[in-house]
Amino acid sequence: MVTDSNSQNTSILANPWAQLIVGLICMIMVANLQYGWTLFVGPIGAKYHWSKAAIQVTFTIFVLFETWLVPAEGYLVDRFGPKWMIVIGGALCGLAWTINSFADSLSMFYFAAVIGGIGAGAVYGTCIGNAVKWFPGRRGLAAGLTAAGFGAGSAATIIPIAKMIKSSGYEHTFLTFGLFQGIVVVVVGFLIMAPGVAFMAAAPKIAPGASRYQAKPLEMLKTPVFWVMYLMFIMMAAGGLMATAQLAPIAKDFKVADIPVSLIGITLPALTFALSLDRILNGLCRPFFGWVSDKIGREQTMLIAFLLEGVGIIALANFGTDPVSFVLLSGLVFFAWGEIYSLFPATVTDTFGALYATTNTGLMYTAKGTAALLVPVASVWVAAKGNWHAVFITAATLNILAALMAIVVLKPMRAAYTSRPVSVAPGATLATR
């Protein structure tokens, strides 16, 4: 593992808040690869007359490669440091949207999704893993602030992207934003660095109730508590990913997409308003719930947030055909969903230690990829049923079950694991590799 060096000790960037800002910028720049995708689905379908389900396979492929390779990328980061992983990831993100700009077949879009997924995953996993290492006493807040960049990073560009698609076509939009986003990540990536082992081992800064044992990835995978968290992550991620990928089709099916909505002095088409508001709330919820979990506990926060998500989805299903309600309720759904990207990394690091945090949180993050397999299934289901009702109710039910599991199952299991006596040789828990 990369430890303190003289350059780190003397650099003004070698402090938690500077590194948080570096990671936040990188996350903002790759956010559109996931959250801006829904704007391109319609134009691509209109040009090539492919089905929504076939086009949305692109989104699923992106999420799979964004998540399932993160453990391998995390291993490289834990061993060699974060800089080159970020730089290479940024280059791949730029390349992916460049390919999208001239893709004329589904296979080309799928290939670009592989490239973009690998790049975005490298950036995301590295930044989250680095954040929880730099903030051992405030992991929920640090993971939340960093993940907020990914959740809300596309908010400022939703309107410019939508306008550019209409004025210049989706191809030019892919190329322009792809190159810009990729170049920024490559440049900023050279500024990122990991804390030394001594910093992570500072006992007074470790969160109360957190384990001081540094579990290696294979050790973590052998524990039942990891798999309980993994299942809960899938249950929560499925509904949110469906909304992320399908919000534009949902708005069109609800017949509210182009209806003007006026709120807080702003008037926009309902879909555009919802996309902008959703990105902001999806970003704000991550540091908010992360901070709350630092204060009241991870599982208690999961109970509150997961129940709120379930209620929000049920309300959207029943009242989303009204344009104002669609905007507000989709915002509630995104606000109560995005916190999984701060709560689970913080909980994993609290439970299994910080030394292998990038790899361990990356393994948990693969649950997002598993959940993404349900996104095209939702499109097929809607085509068969003729409406979104069954999809919404299923997602809400999973959210409510996950909320109850947090208190009834996860909390006692995690308490038993972190408080168990362990026998570790002197110096072994935070040894470098």
Query: What confidence tens digit (pLDDT) does each residue in 206-253 have?
Result: 555 555 678 899 999 999 999 999 999 999 998 777 776 678 778 888
The per-residue pLDDT for 198 is 66
- Virtual torsion, Cα 313, 394, 34, 134, nearest 10 deg: 80
Measured between alpha carbons, how far is residue 282 from residues 285, 376, 410, 423 in Å?
6, 22, 25, 42
- Tokens 């209806």 identify what position? 259
> What DSSP string describes 96-120?
HHHHHHH--SHHHHHHHHHHHHHHH
Query: pLDDT tens digit string along 272-308?
Result: 898 888 878 888 898 999 999 999 999 999 999 999 9
Give 270 or 354, the one with higher predicted confidence: 270
Does residue 410 register a pLDDT over 90? yes
What tokens were used for 101? 């700009």
- Decide if 352 contacts 338 (C-beta within 8 A): no
Q: E strands within 349-404? A: none
What tokens were used for 290? 């992360």
The per-residue pLDDT for 98 is 97
306 burial via Cβ count (<10 Å: 0-12, 13-18, 19+):
buried
| Interval 310-322 mean pLDDT | 90
Average pLDDT, the chain: 85
Helix H or strand E segment including 30: helix 16-30
Amino acid at 365: Y
Query: pLDDT tens digit string along 160-192?
Result: 998 999 999 999 999 999 999 999 999 999 999
| Interval 373-384 mean pLDDT | 71
Q: Which domains does the chain have, with CATH numbers?
A: 6-419 (1.20.1250.20)
* Cα–Cα dist 155/269, whole Å: 15
The per-residue pLDDT for 238 is 85
Nearest to 25 by CA among 153, 217, 214, 200: 153
| Interval 20-48 mean pLDDT | 91
The per-residue pLDDT for 201 is 57
Amino acid at 320: G
Does residue 108 register a pLDDT over 60? yes
Does residue 116 register a pLDDT over 50? yes
Measured between alpha carbons, how far is residue 318 from residues 116, 130, 335 in Å?
35, 41, 18
How long a stretch of residues is the chain?
A: 433
Give 293 or 386, the one with higher predicted confidence: 293
Phi first, then psi: what are they for 267, rounded to 5°?
Answer: -120, 120
Nearest to 365 by CA among 125, 113, 138: 125
Q: Left (φ > 0), alpha (ψ -120 to 50) or beta: where does 209 sit?
A: left
The per-residue pLDDT for 382 is 66
* Cα–Cα dist 285/283, whole Å: 6
- Decide if 265 contacts 315 (C-beta within 8 A): no
Query: pLDDT tens digit string along 117-126?
Result: 999 999 998 9
Share of the chain above pLDDT 90, in %: 46
* Cα–Cα dist 167/9, whole Å: 50
